[in-house]
Amino acid sequence: MSRASEFRQKEVINMSDGRRLGFISDVEVDLESGRIESLVLPGSGRFFGLIGRDNEFIIPWEKVKKVGEDIVLVDMDERFIRKYFDY
């Protein structure tokens, strides 16, 4: 069993295309059940990645396929990813 705090700073990789989506900055937990609902990644930077951040990128827990020691593999639709990342 992993603690929610152990997810911070793990890198997230999309299985369908191998893209690196970023590092987990936070997790959303259902306090009643104690289950993780989603992973939170910071949005892309507004000015060359230096000043400010856009919206956060939320990955629902059901999209998580494998949690490793350093990475988390997810299966996200490419169209959904393009809305949040400049690829």
Check which CATH number belongs to the domain holding 48 and give it: 2.30.30.240
User: What pLDDT is recorded for position 8?
Assistant: 80
What six digits make up the tokens of 65? 């396929």
What pTM was estimated for this model as a whole? 0.77
pLDDT 10s digits, 23-69: 999 999 999 998 999 999 987 654 444 554 457 889 999 999 999 99
CB neighbours of 36 closer than 8 A, spacing ≥ 6?
4, 7, 27, 28, 29, 30, 61
Q: Which domain holds residue 12?
A: 4-82
Model confidence at 7, pLDDT cuts 50, 70, 90, reads: confident
Q: Is residue 56 part of a domain?
A: yes
Give a yes or no: residue 59 inside a domain.
yes
Residue 50 inside a domain? The answer is yes
The answer to whether residue 11 sits within a structural domain is yes
Mean pLDDT for the chain overall: 81
What domain count does the chain have?
1
Asked if residue 87 is part of any domain, the answer here is no
